[in-house]
């Protein structure tokens, strides 16, 4: 099973994957068909899941070729398709035509795949116009599917937290038994007397799931934390170090982050500032077996 990231040249795929996957990407060049060399890269995350990145390229010959003759190889066993659109593309009709061909191939070879469309570079659109534009794009994209498909559309930009939000939703959709995970997390949060417990995927630090017992004010807090920790992890890796745990103390809350399962980190947040880090560690260790 794999994840396919596609979109026209220049739509922002490379920027996106280097933000989400940083330096975890393995690159290789594969020969598709007789004459076409395609850059293919892949990354492993969530344990065994492979994210395959194929560049659709801008050239029509290439596009037609790989959609017509290489369908089996590319479109088989796709669990999730992520298709990136440049919001300012000058040729939306052609973009839509490619997208439609890809949908047809997916419908044929991986009919159960979930589709995520990212209308990217939204920062180029004035704030007040984004809502309306997204409504129109979403309706248009959904019309393109000729067979019933689960399709979700996000507006994204590398300049704010929307990219993390969209990718977290994608990762969330790939987790097996996600309901069970959520219910375990609820129990963990209640038993630890925490305000919130958040689960992050290890490679990307994207939020997989969370349990909240006290209403929180900032709706973008998950994406912000993902971003901050990711930067920190990168700084650590530059000095060949890896962080194991992190403790954050502020005047209003304490938080503790620790490796949890082989594929995740857990973050426990308490508004009770007197809580000892040792207690948080005990709580995390106690909860771990029900997640493994
Ligand atoms: P190919 O490698 O040619 O297939 O293109 P790509 O889809 O990988 O696009 P790439 O990441 O190279 O981005 C193309 C251009 O778009 C670059 O100049 C990026 O800086 C810019 N870009 C990417 N994401 C964003 C975004 O969210 N907002 C804005 N304003 N520009 C972006």
pLDDT in tens, 130-165: 999 999 999 999 988 777 788 999 999 988 889 988
Q: Determine the pLDDT at residue 151.
A: 93
Task: Report pLDDT digits (tens) over 185-244.
Answer: 999 899 888 899 999 988 888 888 899 887 777 888 888 888 888 878 878 878 888 788
Question: Residues with Cβ < 8 Å from 236, sequence gap 6 or more?
Answer: 242, 243
Q: What is the DSSP letter of 76?
A: T
- The residue to mutate among 4, 8, 12, having the most atoms of ligand 1 within 8 angstroms of its beta carbon, is 12
How far apart, in whole angstroms, are the C-alpha atoms of residue 93 and residue 82?
19
Crossing angle of helices 221-238 and 162-174, in 10° steps, is 90
User: Poorest-confidence range of 11-20, 51-60, 126-135?
Assistant: 51-60
CB-ligand 1 contact for 15 (6 Å cutoff): yes
Please tell me the distance between residue 13's alpha carbon and the centre of ligand 1 in angstroms: 6
Average model confidence (pLDDT) for the chain? 82
Task: Report pLDDT digits (tens) over 232-285.
Answer: 887 887 888 878 888 888 888 888 898 888 888 999 998 877 777 788 888 888
Q: Determine the pLDDT at residue 36.
A: 47
Percent of the chain that is helix, strand, coil (3-state, to 5): 45, 30, 30
Structure confidence at residue 63 as a pLDDT band (50, 70, 90): low
Task: Report pLDDT digits (tens) over 18-42.
Answer: 788 765 544 444 444 444 455 667 7
Q: Hey, whose CA ends up nearest to atom 21 of ligand 1?
A: 12
């Amino acid at each position: 099973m794999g994840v396919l990231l596609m979109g026209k040249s220049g739509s922002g795929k490379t920027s996106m994957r280097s933000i989400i996957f940083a330096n975890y990407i393995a690159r290789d060049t594969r020969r598709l068909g007789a004459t076409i060399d395609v850059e293919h890269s892949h990354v492993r995350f969530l344990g065994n899941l492979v994210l395959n990145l194929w560049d659709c390229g801008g050239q029509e010959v290439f596009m037609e070729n790989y959609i017509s003759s290489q369908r089996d190889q590319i479109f088989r066993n796709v669990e999730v398709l992520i298709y990136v659109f440049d919001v300012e593309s000058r040729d939306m009709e052609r973009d839509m035509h490619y997208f439609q061909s890809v949908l047809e191939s997916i419908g044929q070879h991986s009919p159960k795949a979930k589709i995520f469309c990212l209308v990217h570079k939204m920062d180029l659109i004035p704030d007040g116009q984004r809502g309306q534009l997204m409504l129109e794009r979403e309706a248009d994209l959904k019309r393109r599917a000729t067979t019933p498909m689960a399709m979700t559309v996000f507006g994204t930009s590398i300049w704010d937290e929307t990219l993390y939000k969209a990718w977290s939703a994608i990762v969330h959709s790939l987790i097996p038994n996600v309901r069970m995970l959520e219910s375990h997390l609820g129990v963990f949060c209640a038993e630890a007397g925490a305000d919130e417990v958040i689960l992050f995927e290890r490679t990307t630090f994207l939020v997989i799931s969370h349990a909240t017992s006290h209403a929180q004010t900032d709706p973008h807090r998950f994406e912000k934390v993902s971003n901050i920790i990711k930067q920190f992890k990168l700084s650590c890796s530059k000095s060949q170090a890896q962080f194991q745990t992190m403790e954050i103390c502020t005047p209003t809350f304490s938080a503790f982050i620790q490796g949890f399962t082989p594929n995740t980190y857990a973050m426990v947040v308490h508004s009770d500032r007197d809580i000892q880090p040792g207690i948080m560690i005990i709580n995390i260790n106690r909860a771990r077996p029900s997640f493994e």
